[in-house]
Amino acid sequence: MRRRSVLISGFGIVALAASGLYTIHAWQASPATIQNVPVTVTTTVARPVSWYPKLHFVGTLRAHWGTALSFQTDGLVSRINFHSGQRVEAGAILAQLQLNDEPGLFAKYTAQADLDLINLNRDTAQFEAHAVSRAIVDHDRLTLAADRAQRDAEEALIAMKSLKAPFSGRLGIRRVDPGQYLKAGTEVVTLQAIDPIYADFFVPQRFSEFVHVGAIVTVSIDSASGHVFQGRVTATTPAIDAASRTLMVRATLPNADERLLPGGFASVDLAYEGPRSLIVIPQAALIYHPYGNTVFVVTYDQPGRGVVRERLVVTGEARGDLIVIASGLRAGEAIVSAGQMKLRDKAVVMTSDVGQPGEDAAPSVPEE
């Protein structure tokens, strides 16, 4: 019985071995058959571009001029001369506090100063005729100076009760109403001048040597996806911050359409050298392996039909849909950009334009 069991086991092992040999033989024979069947893929070409080498930072947008306007003295709001969001010119009177006895006191001291001047002129003539003493002339002069000072003080108090725009710009939301009693320093409205606008950002110490006044920067914001704003570096701090080891940099950007708003987050790219000639391909064309990245290069034997060879490439900087090929490809070589997961080396392919991946260095997010 034991001998019979051993024989059955032996036959089973032989059968499994034969089945394995047949499977291996079929697998080895299959590539030739598969490679002769054209696979439909999408292709593109490695193309040359001219890119500025750049560093990426994050920053904050700041107004060219910006402030919160308030009165310098207490008082009751008697008049408001603006609407929220209105554009105003420098010097425009925006609001007025109620005037009490200030105009009367101003008129009083003005009249006294006028009288003091008359007395001073009269006593000066008398002094020259030796009719009065020098003490009287000196008293007249000092009385005139004191009354003029009182007049100027009342004039300044009247001016403090008028809120004026210190520069031209656009107002924010009104925070007060007529008849409201305000304490000095209470915010009435904000005023912003945002054309041009600043983008402030911090550069780590190791990159500070690349920053100089006049360097080109490009700024992008979430609210204007796909749109790039260009400006130049206009100022840097003269020292590295000891706490953060960073250099504060300010770039100035034109903002005539006011799409850039103060306080917003900005993505800043700083070009630190002249343009370089590079070769780029869509990132979707790359096949990632532990030993490196490869692409399938197409050699055409007839229009729309060719043979592919897998080739190892060295990649560089990526921007949007594109990635730089540092070595391994020449400009103009055709590569598979979609459908490469179905391929093997030396496979026959048919090309199609369907499913072409994006080739934009700064793609925009589609609106829903």
Which phi and psi angles does 198 have, rounded to 5°? Answer: -100, 150
Check: CB of residue 297 under 8 Å from CB of residue 64.
no
Can you give the pLDDT at residue 17? 44
Q: Which residues of 150-186 are buried (b: 16+ CB within 10 A; e: fewer)?
A: bbeebbebeeebebebeeebbbbebbbeeeeebeeee
pTM summary value: 0.64
First-residue to last-residue Cα distance in the chain: 77
Tell me how far apart the alpha carbons of residues 119 and 137 are, in angstroms, rounded to a whole number.
9
Non-local (6+) Cβ contacts of 177 within 8 A are 77, 80
Can you give the pLDDT at residue 24? 39
Can you give the pLDDT at residue 273? 75
List the structure tokens of 137.
């002339």
Residue-by-residue pLDDT tens, the chain, 368 positions:
444 444 444 444 444 444 544 443 444 444 444 456 788 888 899 999 988 788 889 999 999 999 999 999 999 999 999 999 999 999 999 999 999 999 999 999 999 999 999 999 999 999 888 888 999 999 999 999 999 999 999 999 999 999 999 999 999 999 999 999 999 999 999 999 999 999 999 999 998 888 989 998 999 988 777 788 999 999 999 999 999 999 999 999 999 988 999 999 999 999 877 788 899 999 988 999 888 899 999 998 888 889 999 999 999 888 878 999 999 999 999 999 888 888 888 899 888 876 667 676 666 544 44
List the structure tokens of 117.
């001047």
Tell me how far apart the alpha carbons of residues 231 and 211 are, in angstroms, rounded to a whole number.
14
Q: Are strands 187-204 and 246-253 parallel, antiparallel or unpaired?
A: antiparallel
Residue type, 338: A
Tell me how far apart the alpha carbons of residues 96 and 3 are, in angstroms, rounded to a whole number.
117
Check: CB of residue 66 under 8 Å from CB of residue 299.
no
List the structure tokens of 104.
């009367």
Tell me how far apart the alpha carbons of residues 82 and 177 are, in angstroms, rounded to a whole number.
11
Beta sheet of 181-182, edge-to-edge order: 162-164, 93-97, 75-80, 181-182
CA-angle at 358, arms to 311 and 334, nearest 5° = 35
Can you give the pLDDT at residue 364? 54
Can you give the pLDDT at residue 205? 93
Q: Measured between alpha carbons, how far is residue 148 from residues 107, 114, 136 in Å?
A: 11, 9, 18
